[in-house]
Amino acid sequence: MTSATAAVSASTKETKKDSVPEIIAASMVGTAIEFYDNYCYSIASASYFGAIFFPGATKANPAIGTMLAFLTFAVSFLARPFGSMLFGHFGDRIGRKTTLVVALMTMGISTFLVGCLPGYEQLGIWSIIILCICRACQGVGLAGEWSGAALVATENAPADKRALYGSFPNLGAPIGFFCAYGLNLLLDTTLGPQQMQAWGWRIPFLCSAVLVIIGLYVRIRMTETPIFRKAAAEDRVVKHPLAALLPYWKEVLLGTFAMGITYTLFYVLGTWSLSYGVKVMQPAFTQNEYLAMQMVSVLFFAVFIVISCLYADKLGRKTVLITATLCTLVFSIFAMQSLTHNVTGVMLFLCVGFCCMGALFGPCGAYLPELFPTNVRYSGAGLSYNLAAILGGAFAPSIATALVQATGSVASVGWYMAIMAALALVALFLIKESKDEDYTK
């Protein structure tokens, strides 16, 4: 009997099954914290980290300081594949529950430490090194979070509502966005720009400890998913999930490219546009004004996650994703012209962009896991998702900033997104949806 079979055999005898509210809480809480952490970092890198960790470059050219800060933002993404392999191995071997608890702790501790870190003036180059280490550890934890949360939702779902259940962890993204941007808006309004630059930026990172404690409480109380319990009881759990994943390399690769535009759009809207609107646009918006507009627009993100998942259950995941990607392609080509100092234009840019983002992001919670069988699902879905984070999101703010610097026009950012959307369309047409027996019963 394998270790996973022994560990889960007792639970298969129990009749206890998580209720829908428990499934929602267990799958959504960690993803909300994940995106809260990422958004806090994206705001700090767009607004404060250039002067704190790269003061020399920032004084010489503020755009260079911001680009260097955005590169530390990318470190987390580069660490994600390693986190996917690590947590995917244990998630497919010993179960979803224990793996998710460890991933949440790794993520939370790393975020808290960023809030404690002295700047360049106190530690010199070591402040940047430690920042990158914390960011890498954060990425490792983040890598194990989404895929496990998606499996908690979809492996507990009825067959005809799997995409809807898959929306539960994805709804954590707008919740995390709203909390991160809302807290930063409140602090910036209360403390002012000087105090935020001096020490106020630390508060959102330190507050993540409270969210992690709540998340651990929810995660520890959850039960293992019935599909994994069944696989363990039938001795279908493999000792080396990554080796077993090798025959599915095409699914991993195509899933990566299909998801790439999702991350590109995400961080162009949420991170780059904030930096552009506050620092580059002439005349510029204040930090408070732009944060407020982003907080309103993220509501469209949440609504379209649910709408797209409802249609994904009716029409199919692939159909909805292709439609959403085509809409994103059109948006990328034409929307950038509205990004001027005009509230109506910026709100149109953000709201339509987040509608596309929700339609892309919603169905992936069911779509990626369904490409892989139970015994490699954590590894396969997680690796696709996190490689897409590198392809589409890791350098998106830096690339967008560099393109505007080089061309003097935001239209270049639109063409960059259009290329990513075109690559996603090709991948979606090439993917053949698999039908795992556990998911079809």
Contact status, residue 303 vs residue 410, Cβ threshold 8 Å: no
Q: Helix and strand tally (H, E) in the chain? A: 23, 0
Going from the N-terminus, what domains does the chain have, and what CATH number goes with each?
16-431 (1.20.1250.20)
SS3 192: coil
Q: What is the CA radius of gyration of the chain?
A: 21
> How distant is the alpha carbon of residue 49 from its chain centre?
21
Say how many C-beta atoms besides its own lie within 10 A of residue 59's C-beta: 12
Per-residue pLDDT of the chain (441 residues; tens, 9 = 90+): 444 544 444 444 444 567 778 888 888 888 888 889 888 998 899 889 999 999 999 999 888 898 899 889 889 888 988 888 888 888 888 888 888 888 888 888 999 999 999 999 999 999 999 999 999 998 898 888 888 888 888 888 888 899 999 998 999 889 998 899 899 989 999 998 899 999 999 999 999 999 889 888 888 888 888 888 888 888 888 788 889 999 999 999 999 999 999 999 999 998 899 989 998 898 999 988 999 999 999 999 999 999 999 999 999 999 999 999 999 999 999 999 889 899 999 999 999 999 999 999 999 999 999 999 888 998 999 899 989 989 998 899 889 999 999 999 999 999 999 999 999 999 999 987 655 555 544
Location of structure tokens 């029409």 = 315
